[in-house]
Structure 1
Amino acid sequence: MESSLPITTTKADRRSKSKNLQSTSKSSLVLAFLSCLAWLYVAGRLWQEAESRKVLENLLKKDSNQQPKVVTVEDKLMVYGCKELEQKIVEAEMELTLAKSQGYLKSQVQPSSGKKLLAVIGIYTGFGGRLRRNVIRGSWMSEVDALAKLEQKGIVVRFVIGRSPNRGDTLDRNIDEENLTKKDFLILDFHEEAEEELPKKAKYFFSTAVQMWDAEFYVKVDDNVDLQLDDLIELIQSRRGQDSAYIGCMKSGEVVSEEGMQWYEPEWWKFGDQKSYFRHAADSIFILSKSLAKYIHINSASLKVYAHGDVSVGSWMMGLGATYIDDPRMCCSYSSQDKVCSLA
């Protein structure tokens, strides 16, 4: 029966419900306000990020239009401002080569007679070759003023040597002192006198000699050769007027490909399957005409050097219109009565 009775609400209950409703309404307003602030903050950040992305996209697009996807060496030179300088260097090298080819060569020493010489003879020697030099000086260079008398005949003779790997050491000083006394050296200041550098010596000798003396022929001789100077001069005179002459004891021979063996050639594979050298003059003594010596001087920076000097010179002659003259009298290792040389 109690469940069917009406419920009576008092004023106190009504005031309590009214306060609860007002509190709920305020909380909702506060939450709504905070939600609006949060939405505005998020929207602002999204807008800022969109603007930043747009700016970055524009910058990337601009860079991509200016720079290629693959950057070449020339592009890098352009970026660093080196392209124009590189072109100037190339032009200067071309002008220098042209000037050299037309005869504008540096002259350090002029012939005492003032006339064109017949030959310049360079005797290759080393720091340990003083005894051999004295033997030569005691033979056909034994007369007083022998060098001056030879130059009057159109023949210049010099011992050819480079500098020590340790510049200015005792080896260099000894050579300077010997040259001060004898005055019979051609010192190659830019060549390092060392076993591994020996094949390069020909480049420095011919290049230096052709600048210092105006001669018809340039002769390379080893200091371990007994030279019959008068016979050599007679041989050279018989070849006067033969431009582009490459004269010597011509040979070829097997290319040694086994490392550690005597005469080993590191680039043996360049000489074909048969491993045979091309035709070239033997290393003990050979002669080049002025035009060939001048070619070496002008192109010395780009000429390839192999393990041996005579092979290197032979490789330079192959690409030219050189006249190969095989003269048995210059075969120092052969036994013959009319030779100009023999091995000491």
Structure 2
Amino acid sequence: MRRLNNLLTLFTAITAFFFGSFITKILSSVDQCPAHRRGVPDLKSHPNLFLMVLVLSAPRSAEQRNAMRRTWLKNVRQPIQQPYYPEEQIYLPTYGTSGVLQVELVAHQANRLRQYIEWQKSPLTRIPQLTKREIKVKHLFAIGTVKISSSLEAELLSEQNQHKDLLMLQHHHDTYDNLTDKLLQALDALIDNYEFSYIIKVDDDTYVKLDSLINELVSYDRKLLRKMSEYGRDPIPQLYWGYFNGRAKIKGKGHWKESNYYLSKNYLPYALGGGYVLSRKLCEYIVNSSQLLTPYVSEDVSVGTWLTPLRHVYRWHDPRFDTGYMPRKCQPYHIVLHKRNLEMMTDIYDGKLCSGTVSSSLSEYYYDWTRTADKCCDSLVV
């Protein structure tokens, strides 16, 4: 009888062990699956992407999406036909004695822009290249689908069947107040499903000169890879590239009202939301820390605030990003252009860069990282 009891006890223990392991595995799989965690359907794998283009788009903005597909997003699958942007003109930050990345001075920013303008005018940039570089790029439109009508859902499914470029967020209610959560859900899905080096987040009224942006980003990435050993034990700089503002006052009313921003008088420096580039590791940091990060109403403010404490973030302020709430004075060197309507996108694609733009009251500036926030943006581009 004692032997039988021992066998029963052993059998029960073994059964409990395997059952517990089985349940643990299931729970672990569920936790790691974005379709359960974020409400995103399975995405088709696309390995070794260099750049991911993430467009935050509203459910009813099909016309804007089609305008982007007809114009600059057509370049996603086309090889770059520009000569390599000279690596000697690429700035790489170095660490100071305190272990923090050194900021890029105003004089260097101005010199960099001057060199780019001269390179644009160089005869070499107009000579067709014998070697066409195939750089893997993919775009997706992130759209929240909670509380949409059945007819709108049918329209989105039809659009998805035709273009296969919608990232439909099944747990997201698409409103301005939820924009930061939308970005988090989209980044979560992309990190889980794609291998990429960089991401550019844009709005669906943004035009990107994709050839120019990718060409310079490739040169930056190549130079960084060659110079990695020079950073020694310091972490490799991680790119945060856009047009920065550090003197924006915290909004107290309207759509942009922030009720929980107590950190300072102004928003901490952030790249304007019309378009900015992030390295993959910064995206991973944001996603992995999302349960601990305070979400603010504006997603661009949120990203800037979240990345502020990190000592290895390279904040590349670039006047070529025209990404504010209204266009600045049109310049041929602009490569990311916000607040462009459907007609303007078509005109820009056809070579009419300044079509539809009017005289702007917004000054274009270099960012002075050595001064306080109220003086950060006084060095005008002339």
1:223 paired with 2:204, answer: yes
Conserved in 2, the CA contact under 8 Å of 1:217 and 1:289? yes
Aligned pairs for 1:110-189 within 5 A: 110-111=45-46, 114=47, 116-142=48-74, 147=77, 153-166=135-148, 169-189=150-170
- Work out the percentage of aligned pairs sharing the same amino acid: 22
Deviation at residue 155 of structure 1 after TM alignment? 0.6
Q: Which residue of 1 aligns with 2:373?
A: none
Residues 200 and 253 (structure 1), Cα distance of their counterparts in 2 relative to 1, 3 Å cut? farther
Residues 254 and 153 (structure 1), Cα distance of their counterparts in 2 relative to 1, 3 Å cut? closer
Alignment partners' CA distance in 1, 2:310 and 2:270: 13
Deviation at residue 262 of structure 1 after TM alignment? 5.3
1:326 corresponds to which of 296, 317, 322: 317
Q: Which residue of 2 aligns with 1:54?
A: none
Deviation at residue 263 of structure 1 after TM alignment? 2.7
Alignment partners' CA distance in 1, 2:279 and 2:203: 18
Alignment partners' CA distance in 1, 2:74 and 2:136: 18
Alignment partners' CA distance in 2, 1:192 and 1:149: 37
Alignment partners' CA distance in 1, 2:208 and 2:78: 19
Q: Which residue of 2 aligns with 1:48?
A: none
1:255 corresponds to which of 249, 260, 271: 249
Q: Specify the structure having the higher radius of gyration (Cα).
A: 1
How many pairs are equivalent? 234
Deviation at residue 193 of structure 1 after TM alignment? 1.3
Conserved in 1, the CA contact under 8 Å of 2:180 and 2:295? yes
1:265 corresponds to which of 236, 258, 261: 258
Whichever residue aligns with residue 238 of structure 2, its letter is: S
- Please, which moves more after superposition, 276-285 or 204-213? 204-213
Q: Helix, strand or coil: the match of 1:239?
A: helix
- Please, which moves more after superposition, 278-287 or 323-332? 323-332
Deviation at residue 286 of structure 1 after TM alignment? 0.7
Deviation at residue 214 of structure 1 after TM alignment? 0.7
Aligned pairs for 1:1-344 within 5 A: 108-111=43-46, 114=47, 116-142=48-74, 147=77, 153-166=135-148, 169-240=150-221, 241=224, 243-259=237-253, 261=254, 263-268=256-261, 270-272=262-264, 275-321=265-311, 322-332=313-323, 333-334=327-328, 335-343=330-338, 344=340
Conserved in 1, the CA contact under 8 Å of 2:49 and 2:136? yes
Residues 328 and 223 (structure 1), Cα distance of their counterparts in 2 relative to 1, 3 Å cut? same
Q: Structure 1: which 5+ runs fail to align?
A: 1-88, 98-105
Conserved in 2, the CA contact under 8 Å of 1:165 and 1:194? no
Map Cα deviations across residues 196-251 of structure 1 (whole Å, 9 max, x no partner). Answer: 21122221122211111111101101110122111121232133136421111111
Deviation at residue 117 of structure 1 after TM alignment? 1.6
Whichever residue aligns with residue 188 of structure 2, its letter is: S
Alignment partners' CA distance in 1, 2:275 and 2:188: 17
Conserved in 1, the CA contact under 8 Å of 2:240 and 2:276? yes
Map Cα deviations across residues 172-199 of structure 1 (whole Å, 9 max, x no partner). Answer: 2221111111112122233221222112
Alignment partners' CA distance in 2, 1:125 and 1:172: 14
Residues 311 and 257 (structure 1), Cα distance of their counterparts in 2 relative to 1, 3 Å cut? closer
Q: Helix, strand or coil: the match of 1:283?
A: coil
Bigger helix fraction:
1
Deviation at residue 128 of structure 1 after TM alignment? 2.2
Deviation at residue 290 of structure 1 after TM alignment? 1.1
RCO comparison, higher one (Cα < 8 Å, 6+)? 2
Residues 118 and 307 (structure 1), Cα distance of their counterparts in 2 relative to 1, 3 Å cut? same
Q: Helix, strand or coil: the match of 2:167?
A: strand
Whichever residue aligns with residue 336 of structure 2, its letter is: C
Alignment partners' CA distance in 2, 1:320 and 1:141: 33
Alignment partners' CA distance in 2, 1:162 and 1:149: 32
Q: Structure 2: which 5+ runs fail to align?
A: 1-23, 33-40, 81-132, 225-235, 341-382
Q: TM-score, normalised by structure 1?
A: 0.61
Whichever residue aligns with residue 124 of structure 1, its letter is: L
Q: Considering only aligned residues, what root-mean-square deviation do their CA atoms show, in Å? A: 2.9
